[in-house]
Structure formats: C-alpha cells, structure tokens
Amino acid sequence: MLRDLPLSGVVVVELSDSASAPFAGRILAALGAEVWKVERPSGDSARGWGPSEWKGSGAAYHGLNRGKRAICIDIKDREQLATLHRLIAEHADVFLHNLRPGSSAQYGLDADSLRVTKPELVYCEIGAFGHLGPMNTLPGYDPLMQAFSGIMSITGEDGQAPVRAGVSIVDFGSGLWAAVGILAALYRRQVKHCGATVNGSLLETALAWMTVNVANYSADGDTGGRHGSGVAFIVPHRAYSATDGHLIVSAANDALFGKLCAALGRPEWALDDRFATNAGRLKNRTEIDRLIGERMATDSRAAWQAKLQAAGVPVAPIQTTAEVLDHAQTHALGIIETPSDDEIGLVGLPLSFDGKRAPPLHAARDIGADNPSLDTLLNTSR
C-alpha cells in the first residue's frame, strides 16, 4: 500500500458546490493532498440529490467528497469570511472554487485579491461558459453544456430526440482538467517560485470532448450526425443484439474487420468491395450493420464474446452497474474502495503508482464536522 502519496503536504481549500470542483478536490485528496471542503450552512447541493441516500445525504455527495475535511463557513458573514481568508493566507497551497461567475471578487476571493497577501498561491476557478466572452457571467450546468457545445447533436439515435450522456461527463471532465491545471501550476511554483491562476470551465471541457468532431467539420463541413451506439468515422464500431443482450463490437481497422468476418463465419464480407475498407463500410453502413446484426442475433452474449475474443476482435457486453461491480475484472483492479465496514463502496482513484493503488479515502463528513479542527489550526498559527 502506498504511504507517501504524490501530493502529501499540499493543502487545498475547496469552496465548492455540486460536482465539478468537488470532483477536482477528490482527485487531489486521493493523490494525498489535505483538502478542506468549505460548505455554506445549508450544505452542498449534492447532499440533497436523489434518489439514493446514505447517512442522511445523497449518495452522490459521498461519491464526490470522500477524503476531505468538512468545514462550514457562511461567506456572507464578515467574521466567517475573515476566517476563510486566514485559512487561505496562512495554510493553503491551492484555492479551488466554482462560485457563480463574477461573485468571487465580491468576497475578496478573486485571484488578484488573494495574491496580495499570498503571491505563491495556486488559484483555480471552474466557471460555466468560461472567464472571457459575452456569456462569461452566466451560470451553467452539465446538460446545458452538452447542448451548447454540440455534444447532444451527435448523441442518440438518428431521427430521435436529442439525449445527454448518462453520466455528467462535462462536470467530471471539468474537475479532471482543473486537477491537471493545478498539478501543472504546483510544478511551476516549485521550479519558478510563483503562483498561478488556472481558469477552467464547463464549456471549454465540453468543447475539448468535441475534438474529433471539430476536426472533421473543419476538414469537410460534416457535422457528424447521430449514430446511436456507433460513431461517425468507423464501421463497425457499435452495439449489436445477441439473444440475451447487447455487445459492443469494435473493428476499428480493416485487419480487425477481416478477423470479425472470419469469427462470424462470413469471411467473404472482408473481400466484398463494398466492405473491404473502412471508407467503403462508411458508405454502406446500413447494409453491413444489418448483416452483422442478423448474424449476432443467432447466439448469446457469452458465446459471441468468447468467439470474438479468441479471434482478437475487441468486444464487450453492455453491462448494468450491478454486473460491472460483480465482474472479476473489476474485483481484480481493486478500484472499488470501502474505508470501513459501515461505509458504501465507491470508485477510487483510477491510477496506480509503481503498481500500487492509493489507500481508500475516509468517508465524507457531516457539514462542519471539522470546524473545531479549523479553530485549533488557526489558534495555533496566531
């Protein structure tokens, strides 16, 4: 088990709500940072998210806030705001927040104000539409950005209503990019002895996820369209129905397509001029998908998975949450962490160092549970 984690000794003050900044803070905590999670008196919005609940708060809150100290500060109260300023000035290496755009300066929590007393501070702000432009002061949430960025225009089935991704990819992605930026800024501070301002946003993250689609559109004006479980630029690369469920089959190049055809018992498809190349398969997507679908519908998921894996064709069943948590591969990775017998299992850091995974983070704490520890810390540092 790792004991000396990469961010051991780094102190992060996280003034956050909902998902993006809390996810960034959890990444930093899993890497060894001491994260002070600051909540308003009514608590983080995620404490009220349903439908699942654990120990009086939404299960989502526990998923996003394990491994952090929990303090309650009302930044609208002058004395409590002064306490937060002291914590940042005297102890923080990093200040992370996702306050409503433009509101940080109102409380003296903008980068310029905080750097007057602490020039080496790494300051990270996660906004909605970004820190520049005509929409920079507007609030925003994950589904708005999936819509605005074009993600929803290429998600779902052709001819059907737009759908969003089933997980909050923009929120979590924004938290991940924030953590990347913070790590880069900490490295620069170590080398150049200066602070940094890291600006990230939900919209910029959503646009980053559109990288390939933007490249395609820039090249030929193709906006992509919706392809259900498939993609615009590779065929076959989608789900097919077996007798007892669905599998994703990915023949991402012509050689793999040949292996797929052989495993399906139809080697002649790989020699057909319509299907021999990916360019041909793109033009004849409907026909090759129909042929593969008819063949896949003749046997079970397990049978096809065994045949395709033996042939070297990438394949995976579409599993429920219960199925993936029960799978031997998930167990072997040890990524579902449970810090104690009375806690729920949650996903840990998806990284290992020198072959070892970081130890489980302690459970998310009640609102203000660490306020006494904060008082002790600030009284000791007077």
Active-site annotation, residues: 171
Beta bridge partners of 58: 53
Give the list of residues 6+ apart from residue 132 with CB closer than 8 angstroms, or none: none
Report the distance separating Cα 348 and Cα 364, nearest Å.
13
Strand ranges (E), 119-176: 122-127
- Residue 63's closest CA among 102, 91, 32, 23? 23
**Residue 293 region by backbone torsions, left for phi larger than 0, else alpha for psi between -120 and 50, else beta:** alpha
Closest C-alpha among 249, 235, 312, 219 to residue 277 = 235
Q: Enter the tokens of residue 119.
A: 């020039």
Distance (Å, whole) CA 158 – CA 227: 6
8-state DSSP, 156: S
How is residue 99 annotated by DSSP? P
Helix (H, G, I), strand (E, B) or coil at 349: coil
DSSP 46: G
